[in-house]
Amino acid sequence: MRFSFLMGLSTAATMGITLTTVFAETTRYTVHNGDSLYSIAQKYHTTVSALKSANHLSSELIHPGQVLLIGSSASFGEASGLKTNSRSVAKSPSDYTYTVRSGDSLWGISQKFHISVQSLETWNGLDSGSVIHPGERLTVSKPATKISVLSSRSSTPDASDLSLAESALGFTIADYAKTLLGAPYAWGGTSPAGFDCSGFVQYVFAHFGISLPRTSYGQFDAGTPVAQTNLQPGDIVFFDTYGSGASHDGVYIGNNQFVNAAGSAVQIDSLTDPYWGGHYIGARRM
């Protein structure tokens, strides 16, 4: 696959992208037992509202081990539209946020800002199971650094750019596959109204413009073979559940887990399960 990175700051306004600047460095705080947003706000001289806005929280409920972005009330006040009494000082923007729009995905946003899905997840306290929603604001640049982008007149991305893009795409394919969990199983099915295993895989990849053969046997002959030790989200894993050959497949999502149409619905299973581990025959990266 080849990708072009066409997103520059000069074109952000014409593409309807909302950028919010934050002018103070932020730190990260890991929530401990007994912590509350109020106590954390007091400790770091900020406000509960600023903490909620900076961390995309809809309530004041937090959990031990959760990582929060912490900054001054002046910096978060600017990010959330709050007024502060601090004197404004002209500085270069050190952080940017992006407002999620309908149809956005983590992979799509990562391409706009030439960053990885992993970075988006880390900076925003997300994981591979997180779902983003329109109106949500995501941090798209490290604190105290500027967005690294290529202009629309830049040359073709080099190999490292392509590798990053392909990895990011894999995470987004895995994310999309998980949105179909619970769709019913139907022999020969190729839509959310009913999927069989290969129909599900074909449908997921078609969402990203990637055309695959209809059957699991055909899909096993596509793409590039991947060793089990090198599996990445977005790879297709195959099994010989009906005798020899790739009679079943699913989309790998990380941590030895994969999404597949099996049993009565689209579900998550594990390669560590004795059944699936015993029938595993290989993987392909498209």
Q: Active-site residues: which are they?
A: 197, 248, 260
Amino acid at residue number 119? S
- 17: exposed, middle or buried (C-beta count within 10 Å: 0-12, 13-18, 19+)? middle
The answer to whether residues 252 and 174 touch, using CB atoms and an 8 Å cutoff, is yes
Task: Please give the angle made by the CA atoms of 265, 259 and 178, to the nearest 5 degrees.
Answer: 90
- Scanning the structure block, which residue is given the tokens 């009494």? 85
Nearest to 99 by CA among 140, 131, 70, 58: 140
Tokens (6 digits) for 18: 């909302």
Separation CA 260–CA 196 (nearest Å): 9
Amino acid at residue number 127? D
Distances (CA, A) of 94 to 78, 184, 189: 13, 47, 49
Number of H helices, E strands in the chain: 9, 13
